[in-house]
Amino acid sequence: MNDLILTNAHIVLDDSVIRGTLHIRDGRIAHVDTSQTQTAGAIDCEGDYLIPGLIELHTDNLEKHLMPRAGVIWPSLPAVLTHDAQVVAAGITTVFDALSVGDLEEESVRIETLRSTYDAILDGQRSGALRADHWIHLRCELAYPRLLEALEPLLDHDSVRLMSLMDHTPGQRQYRDIQQYRKYYSKHHASWTEEQFADVVERRLQQQQTYSDKHERAVLDLLSDRQVILASHDDTELAHVEHAHGIGITICEFPTTAEAATAAHQRGMSTVMGAPNVVRGGSHSGNVAALDLARLDRLDMLSSDYVPASLLHGAFMLHSEAGWSMPRAIATVTANPARALELSDRGALAEGLRGDVVRMKVINDLPIIRQVWVEGVRGF
């Protein structure tokens, strides 16, 4: 048997924090109790916290490794392996790699690298080269003209468990303030004149009118006999949430207003906000602050989005800044996403579940990760 014993730790359970010992056998949690042990080989955690391995349901971090410098495309498998090492070091033991299927920008690294990245993730899984447990989250840009052509070949693998329906057309949702859209994309189009920008917006609106509704219906048809969980994206108005709920969406990703988050909550949808929003104290796009939603009891989960290290930091700030208990705060990155993603074998430190464990220490109000185990195997 392969035993791992972690003792003298503050263990964060579903509803309490105990000081005791966690015993993992053959990759599964065998038992948790309040004893201390001197068993040979046991690891003395010196009073550090033990929490479940973090579950990340939407990260774009991989894109930074695919294109480490403007105009430089990195080989996909080495990029995936670097991304994997970074997420495990951030305490993430289950990761849904968000792959964008389409983009409104004509020259996009997302379009260029989609298939090779998808294949590299699956290659990493098959070869055992990955430390974290990787799944695939397909982000469907509904106004992308070639969406269905790009999407259909990706749907049949069991790793595709989550899909979000997106619409980044300027003037609504994330970019309801059209100047925020211009500011974000100006780094790629620094020479846009007023006339050129107006033309871009008009073309984007035409694409939306031509493709978005049609593509949404087609995607739903493609998923009718597949076990894929659906998420909306950047809901802003009550009508957005009502529509999402009506077509079977269960996760409300990054609502941009308290109105939308409240509507999702009332309809039993799970809300997820960006951990960078928590850490930075607000949205980089000028939308609702995640901490404000937490104080309104309208926040269920966090996603690291583009900074893996923000996931634990953001959850800890729900404890230190929003006044949530440690178990409740940690649940936003463990038990709650496990439930939303129908992963019944993880998300808590309980007997029979996967031995995905993070050891952390708090220094100067910052959670510092010291060790990480994935199914009882040291990953960091």
Can you give the pLDDT at residue 289? 95
Provide, rounded to the nearest whole percent, the portion of the chain with pLDDT above 90: 81
Rg over CA atoms, the chain: 21
Determine the Cα–Cα distance for residues 272 and 293; give it in Å rounded to an integer: 10
List Cβ<8 Å contacts ≥24 apart for 251-256: 251/57, 251/162, 251/164, 251/340, 253/58, 253/164, 253/303, 254/174, 254/287, 254/303, 255/288, 255/293, 256/173, 256/174, 256/176, 256/283, 256/285, 256/287, 256/288
192 pLDDT exceeds 80?
A: no
Q: What is the DSSP string of 126-164?
A: HHT--SSEEEEEEEEETT-TTHHHHHGGGTTSTTEEEEE
What does pLDDT average to over the chain? Answer: 92
Higher pLDDT, 176 or 376: 376
Which of 270, 294, 268, 298 minimizes the C-alpha distance to 58?
A: 270
Structure-token pair, residue 222: 């493609």
d(CA 145, CA 215): 9
| Positive/negative CA dihedral, 203, 205, 210, 212 | positive
pLDDT value of position 191: 62
Question: Domains, the chain, ranges and CATH?
Answer: 1-51+348-380 (2.30.40.10), 54-345 (3.20.20.140)
Q: Which tokens go with 64?
A: 């930074």
- Angstrom CA distances, 26 to 149, 252, 310, 353, 375, stand at 43, 36, 30, 11, 8
First to last CA, the chain: 22
Q: Which amino acid is at 84?
A: D
Q: In the predicted model, is pLDDT for residue 171 greater than 60?
A: no
pLDDT value of residue 178: 64
Q: What is the pLDDT of residues 88-101, one digit of tens each?
A: 999 999 999 999 99
What average pLDDT does the segment 305-327 reach? 97
**Per-residue pLDDT for 27 more than 90?**
yes
**98: nearest Cα among 332, 301, 303:** 303
79 CB contacts (<8 Å, ≥6 apart)? 62, 65, 66, 117, 120
Q: Is the pLDDT of residue 186 over 60?
A: no
> 3-state class of 303 per DSSP?
strand
Q: Strand ranges (DSSP E) for the chain? A: 3-12, 17-25, 28-33, 43-44, 49-52, 54-59, 92-101, 133-141, 160-166, 229-233, 251-253, 270-274, 301-303, 357-363, 366-374, 377-378
Helix and strand numbers, DSSP H then E, in the chain? 14, 16
Q: Is the pLDDT of residue 361 over 70?
A: yes
Strand order across the beta sheet in which 301-303 lies: 54-59, 92-101, 133-141, 160-166, 229-233, 251-253, 270-274, 301-303
- Residue 208: pLDDT band (50, 70, 90) is confident
Tell me which amino acid residue 255 is. P
* Predicted structure pTM score: 0.92
Residue keyed to tokens 């791992």: 4
Residue 165 has pLDDT above 80, yes or no: yes
Phi, psi of 185 (to 5 degrees): -90, -5
pLDDT confidence of 175, banded at 50, 70, 90?
Answer: low
Are 112 and 63 in contact by the 8 Å Cβ rule? The answer is no
Better-scored residue on pLDDT, 38 or 363: 363
What is the sign, positive or negative, of the torsion defined by CA atoms of 155, 232, 270, 53?
positive
